Structure 1
Amino acid sequence: MIISIVNYLMKSLSIFLQIFAIAALIFSTVSLIGLDSAPAVAFQSNFDCLKSAGYSFANVRAFSLEGIDLDLSVKDTLIYAKRAGLKTELFIRPCRGKSAKLQIDAVVLVIANQYYDRFWLFLEDNPNPGCTWGNDHKANCDYVKEMLAQLKYFQTPAGIQTSDRFYRQIFGSQGCDLSQYPLIYSHNDASPSFDDYTAFGGWSAPYGKVFQNNVTLCNLTISKVYEKEFKSSNLLIE
């Protein structure tokens, strides 16, 4: 009888540990991307709070008006995030009507890449006047590749954030081969997994997924991303 009870308890403990391990794995892969609130209102306590909540990286918007003006408070925001123990990254939403090269220069020459690990191009609609994508899909592709070439010139790791819908809208049916860069795709289904992913644009597998937008956490408005690290050289360009 005692042996049966011990075996039952050991089996129960084993199941519990397996569930705990799975939960810990899932939780550890949930991170945050983007700060939709103005970085000027962010404080060290905001990022300490995010770190305590289990988040692992902060991807900070570099332009205050999406391709118009560099937000000079971004450096302080990155420093806060680093001090909290978060991995730091930057993103911009390109303004199609402005120089591709100069938009990269405006960020990289002001904010040294020692403050962030990767520079993401957020390829979706830009509603600002003069910033919308044109109908010349090849020209759009050349424009993005010019941005990426400038990042390569500065030896800055780059990545692409987009969705299947916006990718096709910007580059058309012929597409634009950017698959050498890691991809974060968008699908606001509140599910931290890649189960919904359908290959597009040459990416056989994604690097991350934005799965929830406009979440208020630690007095900041953020979007959440599920990220899974890959060792494949065509996904991690360092």
Structure 2
Amino acid sequence: MHLAFVTVVLAAVLVPSLANFGGDIATNVTQSQFECAVNYGWQFVIVRSYHSYGAPDTNAPIALAAAKAAGIQYRDVYHFPCLTVDPIQQVTDNVNAVGASNFGTLWFDIEVNPSPGCGWADPMTNCNFLQSMIQAGNNLGLTMGVYSSAYEWNIVMGNCTAGAEANLPLWYAHFDNTKSFNDFSPFGHWQQPAMKQYTDADASATLCGFSADGDWYPN
């Protein structure tokens, strides 16, 4: 992601009052590396589970298992959609590859897709595609959310309100290195975010020998 837990209502995953600092990853991370991150305060992790080029990320089940073994209780996944793969099929493939019981929330990563043959189309088409993925997730009984930034959302989705109208929580990106929502400006009809990606280079992950974005949500 520039990429890149928490379920809001603020309900299913956002409840634990102390679980407010962690990161998202797009590579494999070992148990010992996760244990190191826990020592620096990580309480949750979000693992890429679907590639931008239209296939499940085979590292995801391994990383999720390592995070669980390291004592990270809250584990989510993020899905980078490919417009040319059937929306129902790709959500189903993702969940089958990871295992629905191995994660809390599936976050749809909405940003410009650089992979050949998988790029987004016009905002209306893209919005309808997102609605189809959300419906697929509902059919599978998933807890879902949306990851994006105001800039990326406006480019890809325009005035689309599908995520907010489906009551999906928003995880937004703004690399100001600040654990605060004071910088947030509404977009996509979301008036309040659930979580923030505040840096694309989490310092504790670097010290532990892996790369991760830093994420935060308030108690």
Fold match by TM threshold 0.5: yes
Q: Does 1:181 align with 2:172?
A: no
- Which residue matches 1:219? 209
The CA deviation at 1:205 is 0.8
- Which residue matches 1:71? 57
8 Å CA contact 1:66–1:126 kept in 2: the answer is: yes
- Which residue matches 1:149? 135
CA–CA distance in structure 2, aligned partners of residues 187 and 29 of structure 1: 17
- Which residue matches 1:13? none
- Which residue matches 2:218? 228
8 Å CA contact 2:45–2:75 kept in 1: the answer is: yes
CA–CA distance in structure 2, aligned partners of residues 28 and 120 of structure 1: 18
Tell me the secondary structure at the aligned position of residue 98 of structure 2: coil
Q: RMSD between aligned alpha carbons? A: 1.8
Q: How does 1:32-181 map to 2 (within 5 A)?
A: 32=23, 34-36=24-26, 38-39=27-28, 42-63=29-50, 65-86=51-72, 87-135=74-122, 137-172=123-158, 174-179=159-164, 180-181=167-168
Question: After superposition, what is the alpha-carbon deviation per residue over 1:22-53, rounded to whole angstroms, capped at 9, x for unaligned?
Answer: xxxx9963221x213x21xx211011111111
Bigger relative contact order (CA 8 A; separation at least 6): 2
Query: Compared with structure 1, are the counterparts of its residues 210 and 141 closer, same or farther at alpha carbon in structure 2 (3 Å cutoff)?
Result: same
The CA deviation at 1:61 is 0.6
The CA deviation at 1:101 is 1.2
Q: How many residues align?
A: 197
8 Å CA contact 1:27–1:54 kept in 2: the answer is: no
| Structure 1: runs of 5+ lacking an equivalent | 1-25, 230-238
Task: Mark the structure with the bigger radius of gyration.
Answer: 1
Query: Compared with structure 1, are the counterparts of its residues 71 and 171 closer, same or farther at alpha carbon in structure 2 (3 Å cutoff)?
Result: closer
Tell me the secondary structure at the aligned position of residue 220 of structure 1: coil
- Which residue matches 1:14? none
Give % identity.
Answer: 24
| Structure 2: runs of 5+ lacking an equivalent | 1-16
CA–CA distance in structure 2, aligned partners of residues 148 and 78 of structure 1: 23
CA–CA distance in structure 1, aligned partners of residues 207 and 190 of structure 2: 31
TM-score for both structures, normalised by structure 1? 0.78
- Which residue matches 2:184? 197
8 Å CA contact 1:35–1:221 kept in 2: the answer is: yes
CA–CA distance in structure 2, aligned partners of residues 107 and 27 of structure 1: 29
The CA deviation at 1:147 is 0.6
8 Å CA contact 1:44–1:81 kept in 2: the answer is: yes
